[in-house]
Amino acid sequence: MAFRLTDLKLRRRGSTLRLLFAIVAAITLYLIFLPHHDLIRPLAQDDVRPSYPPRRPYPLDLPPQEVYMTFLSSGDIPEYFTSTCVLLYSLRYSPTTRDQARPFFVHVTELTPPEWIEKLYSLGASIVHTPLVQGLPERPTERRYKDMYTKLAMWNMTQFSRILFLDADHIVLKSLEGIWDDPTSRAENGVAALGAGNRGYMPEYGYFSAGFMMVRPNEDLFADMLGTREFNPQWREQALLNKYFVHSGRRPWGRLDGQYQRIQPTYEHVEDGIHAFHEKVWEEGIDERIRALWFETLEEAEQFFEENAGMEVESWELIIR
């Protein structure tokens, strides 16, 4: 079996009736949408480890290129691995959402489970390794935020001219190719993103989400950024970035076109033609129509990877020390 219901950890609270409804709905989706094979779920402890081909080093003589990227570090939440596989399929292989002109990179660290890296590489994701970014302000928060400062290392990846970064828990509904030529995505000051005016939990209009950003790498900017202090570290890299890139300050962040992404979307955003949305479909309170879209893409991804098992892929590995 490819994907167990427990892998999603659908978290529900409320009345007994609501809980029963959620269980029935989840099982129904499971029976309808999930193929029964073993491709893009994390390996269990007793699974036999497959053998993988050696990785090809990234050619350092290539001119800087535009790439898509996500971040996958600690193995605390396996749903992020599965979501990364789905994102890989959407950006690289899906006939309706792929961008054949730009590779998809997964940013990993020493905390990333090695078997996750091997599987993603074998499926066609390129891999970029960086050390953990440490020494910045911290406070006790959810465990999943403990390594989030390392996302800042994207600004040190000058092998790339621009990086469209998406958190792994994104669903791509329409191709994102158009964003690269959109004037709003030039990121001349280092980053372009979306803020409170684009629907979601952002606390104020001048504050942006670090889950969907166009990044323009610059080594000097990266070094300067690491000196940022006097911000609330609860949201780690997002808080630091909003301290560093002030919308009305000397280094303003650019505002992307809102047609491309929504955080915590409604189904009306889907009907309006949004290109991608940011949602943890395994958590409570998600519109079942939104959740079903992710399951449909998961089914497509698993079917594609099953039918193309053993395919030759052009993947690269880049190690930044």
User: What pLDDT does 175 receive?
Assistant: 98
Q: pLDDT tens digit string along 59-111? A: 888 899 999 999 999 888 899 999 999 999 999 999 999 999 999 999 999 99
> What's the token pair of residue 110?
């020493």
User: What pLDDT does 141 receive?
Assistant: 57
Give the chain's radius of gyration (CA, Å). 19
Q: pLDDT tens digit string along 210-245? A: 999 999 999 999 999 999 898 888 778 998 999 999
**Rounded to an integer, what distance in angstroms lies between the CA atom of residue 107 and that of residue 296?**
26
User: What pLDDT does 14 receive?
Assistant: 39
C-beta of residue 281 within 8 angstroms of C-beta of residue 291: yes
**Rounded to an integer, what distance in angstroms lies between the CA atom of residue 13 and that of residue 31?**
23
* Exposed e or buried b per residue across 68-101, where buried means at least 16 C-beta atoms within 10 angstroms of its C-beta: bbbbbbeeebbbbbbbbbbbbbbbbbbeebbbee
Ranges of residues in the chain whose predicted pLDDT is under 50: 1-20, 22-24, 26-38, 48-49, 198, 201
User: What pLDDT does 24 receive?
Assistant: 46
User: What pLDDT does 203 receive?
Assistant: 52
User: What pLDDT does 127 receive?
Assistant: 98
Reference 137, options 61, 267, 230; nearest CA is 230
Record the pTM: 0.84
Q: What angle do CA 238, 71, 182 make, to 5 degrees?
A: 70
**Rounded to an integer, what distance in angstroms lies between the CA atom of residue 305 and that of residue 237?**
34
Q: Which CATH superfamily is domain 65-319 in?
A: Spore Coat Polysaccharide Biosynthesis Protein SpsA; Chain A (3.90.550.10)
- How do strand 191-195 and strand 276-278 relate by DSSP bridges? unpaired
